[in-house]
A and B are shown apart, each in its own frame.
Chain A
């Protein structure tokens, strides 16, 4: 079966145009995750544009109480991306800031209200908009992976059922990995505890943040996994810093890198 091209979807009679949103720290530190996202979308037949005038979504400003900075960033984001049919990013936390917290700053902006329902985290986009049932090219990834749910992806975007809520279990990351051959999916003890990154929290409270990260890495490691797989580069960056410092073997890996078939080399 051929992948379903975007243009054939019933919601979009014409070719839909995707604005690729690459959060600032991914742009600088994880360009390979951004490239994997771009290639994956293109190989699924999507027309993807990457507006060069984008910058930060404003989450660090908002989380430190700078309402004016957060408001300006939100308006800028809206202006940059409002022309697209969809906006897609490989980061649950940044997408969640746009879709769940811009209302604190620019709820009265009609352009934002139009844009909001069109902003998607990549896994959500693949599952809910493209209804992906098959990867563009078959991927064989014969490795054990431990799933890391990022807090905002989990509790704000509902990537999975949070362990606190008494609702039926589902997990987007586990579901999409079913499309990959050979992969063995594992869950750590305390399946969705925070890794301790928390944006500027990681430097406001370095000892506590690192302690949280060390515990989290140890829990992932205890599953016997070779990779910690998640959809949020910020958590992966945090745990990666601890893994490198401690010289551990387990590796953080963005799920998009597996889906494009580039994972094992990363």
Chain B
């Protein structure tokens, strides 16, 4: 589980203390952004695909209730049991009741940010069910008792040496063997055991198709397929925004998803699930957990278009230099910084300010969410709910007043220009501007307004002389 008391500025400053590790983190993730660019560039219709994806999602969200009902009916016709969960707790209770009724002892899970959001693992573990995450990255963070630091690359914060150490301790691999192939094989052998002995499998859902009642899961490791075909029970958990109307719309999204996420033309596996395997059973749990509230909000409903590709994280200069653990919400980076404050402004308010508003996220987003603008819109809520630090709020109120009184504004500027140069450096060194390595700009003797007045006066004098 994630520490949701984290405040971004302090956590980021802590992360940056190890500049070498921070630089490595930045470069590793920038490399994925470059791979994304290279793939996108190969499609002349890239921007057209983004426009289409945005419109399909916008249309679907505008009549989501109808499409959800259609999806449910079609899934039921296929023999799937459909459950509705209003919140995280209900989701967990539903999953537990399915598993408990069938005496499930072990559940293999393929990656699902929704179950992270709901806190499913600890819920089931407290009730005696072993949960094994089966994506390699997700398995690594599970063994470290950590949350994922990225929604697509959950262990991107770790170097191979750290993983080697972990596997040595947890899986008994050779100490000091950092060879990625060796480590991957060890994880694979260990996971194979779990697949063979699991009683049920749970997957997330990338897309749910209303006209067919089927769900689509995109993975690169094939673990979702093993986890649903070996055990007899398949539970698919999905947020209610995962719907797309028709199968013919899917191609728009699968073409964008892997390219945006990891710079691959397609995910290795794009698996369609319509019904249980012979003799088995399949359940779909459709989860709201605050999504209806977002849907009803004029400023933030766009965030429900998200297909969880993580491209906004990879491009974000703040995320790359602060890592996922600097964000209090389970989903970090730009998309998390709108979803988190939408869920709980008090807890996740600092995320809305962890942004220089550069806007790169909105440009890489395959469904064109106005991410950086949403963060600024969340700041309105923070201000109105009085969640800004007192000093900052006082400063803003002073600024508000001065903006309406230019003479005083200019006087304040003049005082600043005269006073700053005579303050000893020992006093300014610890200011928020200077403390991390920036000098103050030189203070000019005159403002432009003063220069302009003088210039006008000189002109007038000259004219009078002539």
Contacts and interface: CB of A to CB of B under 8 A. Distances in A.
A136 interface: no
Main secondary structure of the interface of A (DSSP, over half): helix
Interface residues on B, range: 35 or more
Interface residues on A, range: 35 or more
B8 to A, nearest CB: 7
Contacts of B43: 166
Contacts of A58: 403
Most buried by B among A65, A165, A192, A201: A65
B9 A204 contact: yes
A196 B451 contact: no
Interface stretch (A46-54, A119-127, A223-231): A46-54
A34 interface: yes
B451 A35 contact: yes
Given A190-B30, A211-B321, A212-B321, A151 B404 contact: no
A231 to B, nearest CB: 16
B416 A166 contact: no
Interface in B31-75: 37, 40-41, 43-44, 46-47
A188 interface: no
Main secondary structure of the interface of B (DSSP, over half): helix
Contacts of B152: none
B12 A208 contact: yes
B47 A27 contact: no
B448 A214 contact: no
Contacts of B364: 164
B315 A61 contact: no
Contact of A68 (B44, B400, B409, B453): B400
A69 interface: yes
B28 interface: no
Contact of B380 (A24, A65, A200): A65
A215 to B, nearest CB: 7
Contacts of A155: 358-360, 362-363
A122 B380 CA distance: 30
B438 interface: yes
A55 B433 contact: no
Contacts of A66: 383, 396-397, 400
B46 A166 contact: yes
Contacts of B186: none
Contacts of A200: 392
A165 B47 contact: yes
Given A28-B444, A204-B9, A245-B437, 13 more contacts: A55-B405, A55-B409, A60-B396, A63-B357, A64-B396, A66-B383, A155-B358, A194-B317, A194-B358, A207-B16, A208-B322, A241-B441, A244-B439
Interface of B: 8-9, 12-13, 16, 19, 22, 26, 30, 37, 40-41, 43-44, 46-47, 315, 317-318, 321-322, 353-360, 362-364, 376-384, 388, 392, 396-397, 399-400, 402-406, 409-410, 413, 416-417, 432-433, 435-441, 443-444, 446-453
